[in-house]
Chains A and B, each alone.
Chain A
């Protein structure tokens, strides 16, 4: 059974600081997704990472994938309040109906 673990589960940080969210998964996969969820809202796709060493950046967020270590990271640079949300990583399985297995989420709170 595929397990996806994120840490930390909760992150409170000051504006302007940097931090990294970690996503570990238990079986081989080369499909790693990052989503953002605002309270009471749906899931917004942030990044799709497809191969070992993949790195993608959008604004203050940068995601990377190491398939050998089964690890993805989401790095936040110079955080701003608008980044406050819950961030989920998810691992895709093309052999199982394309199902996504989600991590537990990291609730990020950026304080002014």
Chain B
């Protein structure tokens, strides 16, 4: 069964460093998303991406964040200058427009980012 994959599974970085989190969405999906989950808290939407541009972004997704689809398969999230509060699990998701216009999102296994 097709699945969303993410690399790395765990990234440790120092405050102020740049990180790039990588995702390979399901191959026929056209809509891509990033969410984050701080330990013990709920899942929060960061950004959605369609047709090579951002569709929607949350207040969390400030100028330190960017997304890119550099080729036909990868979808990346870059944090330019990490802060301690960026420590979280980051989930990538992808979807297609299915029956009845439903965009059921399939989530990857996540990347745990630890900023020290």
Q: How far is the CA of A94 from the CA of B103 in the complex (A)?
A: 8
Chain B, range 63-110, C-beta contacts under 8 Å to A: 91, 95, 100-110
Assuming the A-B contacts A41-B109, A97-B55, are A102 and B104 also in contact, with contact meaning beta carbons closer than 8 angstroms in the complex?
Answer: no
Q: Which of A17-65 contact B (CB under 8 A)?
A: 31, 33, 35, 41-45, 48, 50
Q: With contacts A43-B43, A43-B107, A50-B100 known, is A99 near B91, CB below 8 A?
A: no
The interface size bin for chain A is 20 to 34
Cα of A31 to Cα of B95 in the assembled complex, Å: 14
Q: Is the CB of B56 within 8 A of A97?
A: yes
Across-interface contacts of B108 in A (CB, < 8 A): 42
**A33 to B95 CA separation, bound complex (whole angstroms):** 14
> Which of chain B's residues have a CB closer than 8 A to the CB of A96?
55-56
Number of interface residues of B (CB under 8 A): 29
Given A33-B104, A45-B106, A94-B103, is A99 in contact with B45 using a C-beta cutoff of 8 Å?
A: yes
Question: Is B31 a contact of A98 with CB atoms below 8 Å?
Answer: yes
Q: Which residue in chain B gives the minimum CB-CB distance to A97?
A: B56
Instruction: Note all chain A residues with C-beta closer than 8 A to B47.
Output: 97
The 8 Å CB contact of A98, one of B43, B55, B107, is B55
Query: How many angstroms between the C-alpha atoms of A107 and B56 in the bound complex?
Result: 29
Q: Which residues on A sit within 8 Å (CB–CB) of B105?
A: 33, 45, 98, 100
Q: Produce 1/0 per residue, A75-88, CB < 8 A to B.
A: 00000000000001
Q: Is B18 an interface residue (CB 8 A)?
A: no
Contacts of B43 in A (CB 8 A): 43, 88, 90, 100, 102
Contact B103 A92 (CB under 8 A): yes
Among A44, A99, A104, the most chain B Cβ lie within 10 Å of the Cβ of A99
Q: How far is the CB of A103 from chain B (nearest CB, A)?
A: 7
A-B contact pairs, 9 of them (CB 8 A): A43-B43, A88-B42, A88-B43, A97-B47, A97-B48, A97-B50, A98-B48, A98-B55, A99-B48
